[in-house]
A and B are shown apart, each in its own frame.
Chain A
């Protein structure tokens, strides 16, 4: 399944058998975040939540609430205006190891 298909699958809420479900991960550069909330709102899988603590600039940054739900669609990274977050598909071996 390519990236486009994975995204539309995630967006439409279709789930697949756990051994085929793409797994992803997210990397956040907390100090760049300005708390706009785009990533949290537009993550189709509900991976992220707003932290209760602040970064040095006084913004609430995103935290990963449900890492197991991340499909690596990368939408968080596409929306982030501050280049503070990025998501990607984990290599298949990694995904299976996480089971």
Chain B
């Protein structure tokens, strides 16, 4: 049943609807999960970014966020755990006309996928990496991740995390990313704008999005439901565009620094390679 305010509102079209595989909605994400919120931002970003829809490809890994590929009505690829980035690298190199967006979670991209993450950033492959960070491995029941802050709990650290956690913007910048930003799922407008910038940016663009996982991380750490967390993000995030990424650590229940931290013009992998091919053509080594 659809409820509407006025008879005019049946003319209201949700901007996200055309980008969804609507036959698969409702999706599997929990009440209060922030992933769907990020997808709304993504849909609005696509409308604004001017990229031809049929040339956009979505690549995901395994995990809750990894399911995004299945729900978005594009050429979409749900790959193996941690390997979305190398898959996307192959896809992009084989068809440079494609605009390849990676949409995956913190565990998939940074833990098992960590090695591929740093190398793709190093190569400055022209990819947009959207990393939804909910501080745990949600799909498998709430184990800790390399992003879980010290002293937080998870099923595999029931007495509290002792390992230091990654500072993702710092990791991305140090590995060579051309664009680095962090927002929370609360910051829908800024996030949409960041996605537009990242999609249009040449080179390796990275956006970390802090989102609630009310069923697991939030519940086990007694941080309230999804709404409580969104309100907490509103009150405890600090926007510092251009902040040095080394100062963007996230400590348990401490402020979250958000903003656009890095936006550089760096030659992408394909640009450098194509320049080399051009030279080789002039020398008669490469084919025209």
Contacts and interface: CB of A to CB of B under 8 A. Distances in A.
Q: Do A and B associate with each other? A: yes
Given A27-B2, A67-B6, 8 more contacts: A34-B32, A37-B225, A78-B37, A78-B40, A78-B189, A79-B230, A80-B40, A94-B8
Contacts of A90: 6, 8-9
A3 to B, nearest CB: 10
Contacts of B163: none
A6 interface: no
Interface string B29-41: 1111111110111
Contacts of B29: 81-82
Nearest to A83: B16
B228 to A, nearest CB: 9
A27 B14 CA distance: 9
B6 A25 contact: yes
> For the complex, would chain B's binding face be called helix, strand, loop or mixed by DSSP majority?
mixed
Nearest to B31: A34
B40 A83 contact: yes
A10 interface: no
Contact of A82 (B12, B36, B41, B189): B36
Interface residues of B, number: 40
Contact of A75 (B36, B39, B188, B230): B188
Contact of A98 (B2, B6, B35, B225): B6
A81 B33 CA distance: 7
A72 B82 CA distance: 40
Contact of A83 (B1, B2, B14): B14
> For the complex, would chain A's binding face be called helix, strand, loop or mixed by DSSP majority?
mixed
B15 interface: yes
Nearest to B44: A78
Contact of B188 (A67, A79, A91): A79
Contacts of A88: 9, 12-13
Contacts of B1: 30-31, 55
Interface of A: 7, 25-32, 34-38, 41-42, 47, 55, 57, 59, 61, 63-64, 67, 70, 75, 77-83, 86-88, 90-91, 94, 98
A46 to B, nearest CB: 14
Contact of A38 (B13, B25, B230): B230
A34 B30 contact: yes
Interface in B67-97: none
B22 to A, nearest CB: 9
B6 A78 contact: no
Closest A-B pairs by Cβ, 7 of them: A81-B36, A25-B9, A86-B14, A34-B31, A67-B5, A36-B32, A78-B188
B227 A26 contact: no
Contacts of B2: 27-30
Given A75-B188, A83-B25, A36 B9 contact: no
A26 B9 contact: yes
B5 A80 contact: no
B31 A36 contact: yes
25 contacts: A25-B8, A25-B9, A26-B9, A27-B4, A30-B2, A31-B1, A34-B30, A35-B31, A36-B225, A37-B227, A38-B32, A64-B3, A67-B5, A78-B40, A78-B192, A79-B40, A81-B29, A81-B35, A82-B29, A83-B16, A86-B15, A87-B12, A90-B6, A91-B8, A94-B8
Nearest to A7: B189
Contacts of A94: 6, 8
